[in-house]
């Protein structure tokens, strides 16, 4: 009995040793790829990685979906252990990461893969990764705030002409005041902060002046007041209600959510919908506030030349084979994909259909944009609904951002 027990123990030890050796070997021959894609888009990325690995590359890719990824990135960078070989980050993170010195330039990788170049991608998706002439990222997509419309409600309220120039104005929406059935609304408050930041561009403004955050400004006030007109007229979905679901229920003409929502809307039986640009104060200027998912390499002393070469091969595969990513509702950054006939089957192809649409996809690249976006998201709902004094709240927002910057400068988190 003791001999059997000893034999079993030895087998177990040998088995564990083999497994651990296999894991170690796998780490050396596997690109660890972190993404924050915790939604349905994670499954589409899984498929892209699976498709790439099926080509039998020398170094395969392991996709790791990482909740609270930026916190974990900070942790592994501080420790120097467990840093992924490749990661996807959002466009607004690039300036801060470059300033901290935690991103590897893509220079050598691009030399090895000459088609990974600016001419082959949507211009703003590429340029968000360019800092002082150095390229730190390769783009995957642009994901944008857009506006879906209910075709049946537009017809019911004789408002189909709003879409003639693909720019729905605030005045056009206000023209339906008093004409809607009870329980119907012109627009919801989905991604309201993104809508406000789009209006800043429509009005010719910005969120910074000489490198300093500019929140408590006349243009921010004007942007908020222009949207507030719609709420004051009783045309926006009620405060606290889920306007996104109200659109899917057929009670809202326009929903200002994201490109990625097209798949969810398409799954709603009986919802007859299309997509256009986010509404604007004037017909001659429209902006769709956007961001981008970007491939990057965090500083990692253990990343081998073989892995860098493998990353280059993987990113070139994505450039030419990312139609799968369009299924996630994203605007694919690769021109080879977004200019292909197959891509036109996807609703978001509207936003690459001409140069004016491409230019409407505005990505903020100001270093402290994340703090400004947080302030706008936190306070804009109450301002638009008239729950707070706009001037006092703009002062609060400005201080909110300045305090965040001071905390960051002092090393606080």
- Domain limits, the chain: 2-140+292-321, 144-290+365-409
Q: Are 98 and 131 in contact (CB under 8 A)?
A: yes
pLDDT (0 to 100) of residue 409 = 57
For residue 151, which of 260, 255, 242, 288 has the smallest C-alpha distance? Answer: 255
Residue 299 dihedral angles phi and psi, to the nearest 5°: -55, 125
Q: Are 143 and 292 in contact (CB under 8 A)?
A: yes
pLDDT (0 to 100) of residue 16 = 38
**Which residue numbers in the chain have pLDDT < 70?**
1-26, 409-413
pLDDT (0 to 100) of residue 408 = 78
Question: How buried is 215 (Cβ within 10 angstroms: 0-12 exposed, 13-18 middle, 19+ buried)?
Answer: buried
pLDDT (0 to 100) of residue 15 = 39
* Separation of first and last alpha carbons in the chain: 58
Secondary structure in 3-state letters for 186-230? EECCCCHHHHHHHHHHHCCCCCEECCEECCCCHHHHHHHHHHHHH
pLDDT (0 to 100) of residue 5 = 41
Domain 144-290+365-409: give its CATH code: 3.40.190.10
Domain 2-140+292-321 classification at class level: alpha beta
Question: In whole angstroms, what is the distance from residue 28 CA to residue 1 CA?
Answer: 41
Q: Are 280 and 287 in contact (CB under 8 A)?
A: yes
pLDDT (0 to 100) of residue 70 = 95
Angle at 382 between CA 380 and CA 384, to 5 degrees: 65
Question: In whole angstroms, what is the distance from residue 182 CA to residue 336 CA?
Answer: 47
Number of helical H runs and strand E runs in the chain:
18, 18
Cβ density class 379-413: b for 16+ within 10 Å, e for less: bbbebbbeeeebeebbebbbebbbebbeeeeeeee
């Amino acid at each position: 009995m003791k001999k059997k027990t000893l034999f079993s123990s030895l087998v177990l030890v040998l088995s564990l040793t083999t497994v651990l050796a296999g894991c170690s070997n796998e780490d050396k021959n596997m690109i660890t790829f972190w993404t924050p894609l915790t939604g349905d888009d994670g499954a589409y990325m899984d498929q892209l990685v699976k498709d790439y690995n099926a080509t039998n590359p020398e170094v395969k890719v392991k996709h790791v979906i990482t909740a609270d990824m930026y916190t974990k990135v900070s942790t592994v960078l501080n420790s120097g252990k467990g840093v992924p070989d490749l990661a996807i980050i959002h466009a607004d993170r690039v300036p801060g990461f470059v300033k901290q010195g935690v991103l590897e330039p893509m220079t050598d990788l691009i030399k090895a893969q000459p088609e990974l170049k600016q001419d082959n991608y949507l211009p703003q998706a590429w340029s968000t990764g360019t800092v002082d002439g150095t390229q730190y990222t390769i783009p995957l997509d642009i994901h944008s705030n857009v506006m879906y419309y209910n075709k049946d409600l537009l017809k019911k309220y004789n408002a189909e002409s709003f879409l003639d120039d693909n720019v729905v104005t605030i005045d056009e929406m206000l023209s339906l005041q008093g004409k809607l059935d009870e329980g119907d609304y012109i627009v919801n408050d989905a991604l309201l902060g993104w809508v406000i930041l789009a209006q800043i561009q429509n009005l010719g403004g910005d969120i910074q002046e000489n490198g300093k955050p500019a929140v408590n400004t006349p243009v921010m006030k004007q942007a908020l007041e222009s949207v507030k007109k719609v709420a004051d007229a009783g045309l926006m979905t009620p405060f606290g209600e889920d306007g996104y679901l109200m659109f899917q229920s057929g009670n809202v003409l326009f929903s200002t959510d994201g490109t990625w929502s097209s798949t969810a809307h398409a799954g709603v039986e009986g919802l007859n919908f299309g997509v256009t640009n986010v509404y604007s104060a004037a017909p001659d200027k429209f902006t769709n506030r956007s961001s981008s998912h970007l491939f990057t390499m965090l500083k990692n002393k253990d990343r081998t030349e073989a892995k860098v070469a493998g990353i280059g091969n993987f990113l070139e595969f994505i450039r030419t084979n990312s139609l799968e990513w369009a299924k996630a509702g994203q605007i694919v950054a690769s021109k080879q994909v977004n200019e292909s006939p197959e891509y036109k089957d996807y609703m978001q192809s509207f936003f690459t259909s001409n140069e004016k649409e491409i230019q409407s996809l505005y990505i903020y690249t100001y270093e402290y944009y994340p703090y400004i976006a947080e302030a706008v998201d936190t306070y804009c709902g109450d301002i638009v609904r008239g729950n707070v004094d706009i001037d006092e709240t703009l002062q609060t927002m400005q201080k909110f951002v300045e305090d965040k910057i001071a905390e960051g400068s002092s090393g606080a988190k």
